[in-house]
Structure 1
Amino acid sequence: MPREQITRAGLIGRFLRGSAHHFVSAVVFSLAGTALGALLPQIVKVAVDSILGGQPSFLDPLLAGPILGQAPGTRRDLLLAAGLILLISALAWLSQYLYRVSIARGSERFTKSIRDTLYSHIQKLPYAWHMTHQTGEIIQRCTSDVEVVRSFVSSQLLEVFRTSSLLGISLWVMFSMNISISLIATAFLPLILLYSAIFYRQIARRFLAADEAEGELSSVVQENLTGVRVVRAFGREQFELDRFDEKNTGFAKLWIKLGYLQSYYWGIGDMITSLQIIAVIVAGTVQATSGAITLGEFLAFCSYNLTLIWPVRSLGRILSEMSKAGVSMDRVRYILNCTPESDRPGAQRPPMDRDISFSHVTFGYDRQKPLLHDISFTIPAGTTLGILGDTGSGKSTLIHLLDRLYDLPPDGGHITIGGADIADIELAWLRRNIGMVLQEPFLFSRTVHQNIAATHPDASPEEVRRAASTACVHSAIDRFPDGYDTLVGERGVTLSGGQKQRVAIARTLMQNAPIMVLDDSLSAVDAETDAKIRAALDAHMHQSTVILISHRVTTLLHADCIMVLDGGRIAEMGTHQQLLQKGGIYRSIYDLQLRGEDAASLKEGGVGREAD
């Protein structure tokens, strides 16, 4: 059943649930401030007409009070008008304050909800999805794009309500005062809205290009900082500077073009609104001099006209900003609409200390070019399988399929553990029971203790040290100034390659899983250390099913069974002695390595030329 896609409106509605009451309060306070603002021109109108024109007003009953009633007429009118203006301004200020407080609370809760959901959703997206999306771009979608959406909801969307109410109130008062001048004022509104809609489409297109360019720029920075040691080692600083400058220049040009477009938009808008103001002033002056309207009414009308112009201009600005928000919402929606990993209905939690079987497994990252061809074998529970093969022969892919980092296609065969298809096993249960040490281990920017205890956060210091000793890294850690409290740099940069691999092995050992996978995880250590680690692991993992992937014969020669892959197919399979006697690929690799630095280790392991 296809997953329901989130729309733009659905995105806003979904994350407004926990903060909607704050935005409702903001709308109420905004409307109150707008209504209070509409009263000020009326106070000015009455004050001018009663003071300069001597006309009676609806304020006369208030003027007969015990305090103001004793003052001279002009001063009395001025004092009352000033007092009312101060009172209304104070109430408007209070409304604005409460409006801003409500916006701040609502927008931050709204943004927090989006970020939490995005981060949680990204954690559940398939491994294949992460392999096809750049880290910098993902980060930008979770930061810059979320901020644009927050600005849209907290500022632009509420501004639509505010400007619409202000526009409605201003038009109602203006038409009630003078229909002919109001018609002149409103004649320009369709023109303003029309050109705003035209620019809306142009700005949206330009902003999308600029936003994508920013994602590419972020990816370049993230990649450069992550690989800073490689950049320095190969003297690639100038190349990286040129690469960054190229992306940065393109990014800047796109924003300059967007700035040009917005400048045209605001310039044309200012010209149209200036013409509208001039037309209203001319028409109002003519009617005021002819006596059709009073001076107070003329001043009030000019004030309402200025109030009318700003909402219309603001609405156009909001439309241009909404084009950016629409692009950012689509970029956020893209992530949320990607299908996360999920368990099948009725997913099981079977015992995992059972036989592992691959049955006619065929798989390729590109469905047109399979990497594995009809792979079938069984690993008896509690035994060790060694896998040997050239780069690209499919060794790591087998492990990725076992851990369901990639799913087999419907016609790609089956992988079972104790007879249960791994597709029917809960993902969390499957991965909790498969301990993996990858060829390029990733360490977090935390202490050595925290990295080793990552799979068992409640582990005691003794348990952590025991795992480190098994991985033959305890003595190295003990020599650090802060020992196990040494802070590991980003991606483990403060440790050597061999130390990182051994810390990763210790971390996996803490998991105490019934299935252990070491994917060429001893490649960065010397042959002597390799032998020590293997001996310690054999003693520790004697009850686990172990899969060893390596290019070294020394790492695999004591495995219960060794499988040699060639071109995505099983070329040979058997024990070390059986494969030597076959004289095939394994024997060729054995002879080649025996002449190299591993010769001593082979003989120490009890296997030499005399074993031929």
Structure 2
Amino acid sequence: MTSRSKRHLTLLWDSMAGMRRQYAAAVIMMGFAALLGLMAPLVLRTTIDSILGDAPIGREGHWLAELIALAGGKTVVLHNLWLCAIMLALLSVAESVCLYLKGTWSAMAAEATAQRIRDRVYDHLQHLTYDYHVNAETGDLIQRCTSDVETIRQFLAVQFVEVGYALFLVAIVLPMMWSLDVTMTLISMAMIPVIFGFAFLFFKKAKQAFEASDEADGRLCTMLQENLNGVRVVRAFARQQHEIEKFASSNQEFRELTYHLIWLMAVYWFVSSLLGMIQGGGVLIAGAYRAAHGMLTVGTLVVFISYVQRLFHPIRQMGRILSDMGKAMVSLQRIQEILDQPIDASEAHLLSPRIHGDIEFRNVSFEYEPGKPVLQDISFTAKKGQTVAILGPTGSGKSSLVHLLSRLYDYQAGSITIDGVELKEVNKKWLRQHVGLVLQEPFMFSKTVKENIGLAQKEADDAAVIEAARIAAVHDVILSFEHGYDTAVGEKGVTLSGGQKQRVAIAQTLMKDSPILVFDDSLSAVDTETDAAIRRALRERNGATTFMISHRVTTLSEADTILVLDGGRLVQTGSHEELIQEDGLYRRIWEIQSELEHDLQAEMN
């Protein structure tokens, strides 16, 4: 067993905590069911050979001899053969009860284990790094948390205990058959090694086929999830046919891989059934010949035929068991890949200082990939209550800079301090509770407007929600909705416009009352008048240190300090009045926007 397989089994074993005894009980019930099922043929053999015939009852049937004596002896039973029928019925009922308990206990244990795996994976996902989620495919993660867990649950509920049944059956049947007739036992076991070998080959092929099918399923889920999320973009660009063709191609790939898996299973069941019929035919022919020549009793032949049928089913099932085990191992591997991803390390030992908002960058450099710097040698200061505006072309590092403040990423060189404390020495959770971040493309949960705004607080006060909405200049808009603050925004806020979503996200952030606010181009979808109203309300509300990324000079002009980034470097810094006097990027943008504004006003007049 490889170290990777051991880790997968360790994951399964740990997830079964609290349910191992129940699994053991289910396996034991399966063992009792196997034993009871093997008693019925012995009752038939004794009835045929010893009640209807004169053959002595062997050692394997001593318990039947005691029951016959208890019933009044052979003569009484011979004249009351219904007693044998009742015995067979009681054995069948007892076997059914054991199978019922096995099924119930194994299903309950499997459900609990699957629930624990889902909880563990979901908990792990919540603590993975920001960078992991940026690069992960959501559809594939959903498929691993649902389909893969379901595959494991099905294996545990059905096939896992079948392994115990097969082992119990072989352990009990072989000695009993051997004690009845050695020659017939050897004949009965002739095909078993062949079937086991074929099952092992099938297992290897089926595992590879399932892994390919499962990965194709993950790609299909990812494509579907992306298409549903971007349905408005698809329609806006009339790309429906292209998306249909792309999905059809991926769906065709999934179908072909799944069809190959089904074909492998069909081949296995056909070949194993054929081998089983050959085995059964061989036992029948050999047994009939030996019975005709007095080397075997008819009752013993009935026992062998019955035992071979009972034994052959779980042996045939070994291929199915191995196949499902292969599927479960693939699913465990895919789940383990998530659990192997490093989480944000526990930082309980780090500092949780009072945060006021004095920030200093000293020669800060940052890169996502080694050798590809995104920010280089950035230095500036921001005092408590000041507004710092950031301007720069696409890819200049603006968002990366403000993401460092929340430690979504950690810088590789230089120093960032908040109120004199090195940022890397501050607990991430504590830090993020004090930094309010509003993204350019905010995410809305499928809840009401009120619930989305109050998300930052467990029990949001209505007055606080309304006040935050007023500052974000969205209160009047919300009141215009049919249900006001109780209006459902739909999945990802689909019922809101871009500007409305941005303003709801601002209100949501303001509920935290953070001493540091970051607006990552989050006023881009609102008009200039609303932009100005929001900034004015923010200045009047509190003295939070505010970072504001924007491409509007009118938004930037009121900031205490303006940072101009280009190519990851800080090329200009100063106030609006200072920067328009310098020959540089800021002045060129200001001139372009001023000219456009002048032309627009001229056209309106």
Deviations 1:124-168 (A, max 9, x none): 101111122110000000000011111222222221111111121
Which position in structure 2 is the counterpart of 1:10? 10
Q: Deviations over 1:416-452 (max 9, x none)?
A: 2123222221111011110010000111000000000
Q: In the aligned structure 2, how far is the partner of 1:9 from the partner of 1:65?
A: 50
Task: Tell me, yes or no, if the aligned pair for 1:181 and 1:284 is still in contact at 8 Å.
Answer: yes
Counterpart contact for 1:204–1:324, Cα < 8 Å: yes
Match of 1:178 in 2: 181
1:80 aligned to 2:62?
no
- Is the Cα–Cα contact under 8 Å of residues 45 and 302 in structure 2 kept in the other structure? yes
SS of the equivalent of 1:351 reads: coil
What is the 5 A alignment of 1:152-191? 152-191=155-194
Match of 1:237 among 237, 240, 262: 240
Question: Which residue is 1:474 aligned to?
Answer: 475
Match of 2:52 in 1: 52
Counterpart among 143, 146, 161 of residue 143 in structure 1: 146
Measure, in 2, the Cα distance between the counterparts of 1:539 and 1:217. Answer: 50
Q: 1:113 aligns to what?
A: 116
Match of 2:319?
A: 316
Q: In the alignment, which residue of structure 2 is the partner of 1:535? A: 536
Deviations 1:168-188 (A, max 9, x none): 111111111111111122222
Secondary structure of the corresponding residue to residue 373 of structure 2: coil
C-alpha displacement at 1:121, in angstroms? 0.4
Structure 2: which amino acid aligns with 1:519? D
1:408 correspondence with 2:379: no
Q: Secondary structure at the match of 2:596?
A: coil
Structure 2 equivalent of residue 215 of structure 1: 218
Contact 1:554 1:598 (8 Å CA) reproduced: no
Residue 34 in structure 1 maps to residue 38 in structure 2 = no
C-alpha deviation, 1:205, in angstroms: 1.2
Single out whichever of 259-268 and 296-305 deviates more from structure 2: 259-268
1:376 corresponding residue in structure 2: 379
Q: How far does the alpha carbon of each residue in 1:9-41 deviate from its partner, in whole angstroms, 9 at most, with x for none?
A: 111111000222221221121111111111111
* Structure 1: gaps (5+ residues): 602-612
Matched, 1:253 2:278: no
Task: Output the CA distance in 2 between the equivalents of 1:596 and 1:70.
Answer: 113
By how many angstroms is 1:596 displaced?
2.5
Matches of 2:222 and 2:82, distance apart in 1: 64
| Residue 408 of structure 1: how far off its partner (Å) | 2.5
What residue in structure 2 maps to residue 463 of structure 1?
Answer: 464
Q: Secondary structure at the match of 1:386?
A: strand
In 2, the alpha carbon distance for the partners of 1:204 and 1:101 equals 28
Alpha-carbon RMSD across the aligned residues, in angstroms, is 2.0
Distance 2:316 2:6 in 1: 32
How far apart are 1:455 and its partner, in Å? 0.5
The offset of 1:600, in angstroms, is 9.5
Contact 2:121 2:338 in 1 (8 A): yes
Superposed displacement of residue 549, structure 1:
0.7
Q: Alpha carbons of 1:459 and 1:599: their partners in 2 closer, same or farther (altered >3 Å)?
A: farther
Deviations 1:363-415 (A, max 9, x none): 22222211111112221222111111111110001112221212223xx3232
- How far, CA to CA, are the matches of 2:73 and 2:202 in structure 1? 57
Residue 310 of structure 2 corresponds to: 307
Q: 2:281 aligns with which of 278, 283, 297?
A: 278
C-alpha separation in 1, matches of 2:371 and 2:120: 35
In structure 2, what is the Cα distance between the partners aligned to 1:5 and 1:513? Answer: 47
Deviations 1:56-94 (A, max 9, x none): 55556645668x779965341x22211111111111111
The 2-side partners of 1:64 and 1:268 are apart by 47
Give, in whole Å, the separation in 2 of the partners of 1:207 and 1:566.
Answer: 49
Q: Which amino acid aligns with 1:494?
A: T
Counterpart code for 1:208: E
8 Å contact kept, 2:523–2:531: yes
In the alignment, residue 130 of structure 2 is paired with which amino acid? Y
* Shift in Å, 1:7: 0.7
**What is the DSSP-based 3-state SS (H/G/I as helix, E as strand, rest coil) of the residue aligned with 1:362?**
strand
CA drift at 1:268: 1.8
Partner of 1:104: 107
* Equivalent position amino acid for 1:290 in 2: H
Structure 1 partner of 2:571: 571
Contact 2:391 2:549 in 1 (8 A): yes
One-letter code of the match for 1:441?
Answer: P
Distance 2:552 2:357 in 1: 27
Query: 1-side partners of 2:357 and 2:77: how far apart?
Result: 102
Deviations 1:80-121 (A, max 9, x none): 211111111111111111111111211111111111111110
CA distance in 1, matches of 2:6, 2:118: 16
Separation of aligned partners in 2, 1:600 and 1:504: 30
- Answer with 155-164 or 326-335: which moved more: 155-164
1:341 aligns with 2:337: no
Are 1:8 and 1:329, in contact at CA under 8 Å, matched by a contact in 2? yes
Q: Equivalents in 2 of 1:298, 1:69: separation in Å? A: 25
Which range moved further: 366-375 or 384-393? 366-375
- What one-letter code is carried by the residue in structure 2 that aligns with 1:27? V
Partner of 1:41, secondary structure, is helix
Partner of 1:485: 486
Give the drift of 1:208: 1.1
Secondary structure of 2:572 counterpart: strand
8 Å contact from structure 2 (residues 68, 74) kept in 1? no
Contact persistence 2:357–2:516 (CA under 8 A): no
Q: Which residue of 2 aligns with 1:423?
A: 424
- CA distance in structure 2 between the partners assigned to 1:56 and 1:360 by the alignment: 99
Structure 2 distance, partners of 1:5, 1:439, is: 44
Amino acid at match of 1:563: L
For residues 479 and 587 of structure 1, the distance between their equivalents in structure 2, rounded to whole angstroms, comes to: 41
Q: For this pair of structures, how many residues does the alignment match?
A: 593
Give, as a single letter, the amino acid of the residue that structure 1 aligns with 2:516: I
1:62 to 1:568, Cα distance in 2 relative to 1, 3 A: closer
1:330 matched to 2:314? The reply is no
Deviates more, 1:215-224 or 1:342-351: 342-351
Quick check: 1:447–1:484 contact (8 Å CA) kept in 2?
A: yes
8 Å CA contact 1:564, 1:572 repeated in 2: yes
Query: 8 Å contact 2:392–2:564 — kept in the other structure?
Result: yes
Amino acid across the alignment from 1:506: A
Between the aligned partners of 1:569 and 1:341, the Cα distance in structure 2 is 28
Q: Superposed, which structure 2 residues align to 1:554-569 within 5 Å?
A: 554-569=554-569
Matched-pair contact (CA < 8 Å) for 1:6–1:337? no
Paired residue for 2:295?
Answer: 292
Q: Return the match for 2:96 from 83, 93, 96.
A: 93
Contact 1:455 1:508 (C-alpha < 8 Å) held by counterparts: yes
1:461-510 per-position Cα deviation (integer Å, ceiling 9, x unaligned):
11100100010000000011100000011111100111000000000000
Query: Residue 594 of structure 1 corresponds to which residue in structure 2?
Result: 594
Distance 2:326 2:161 in 1: 16
Within 2, Cα distance between the matches of 1:128 and 1:145?
A: 24
Asked if residue 585 in structure 1 is aligned to residue 588 in structure 2, the reply is no
Moved more, 4-13 or 24-33: 4-13
List alignment gaps of at least 5 residues for structure 2. Answer: none
The secondary structure found in structure 1 opposite 2:519 is: strand
Distance in 1 (CA, whole Å) between partners of 2:161 and 2:414 is 55
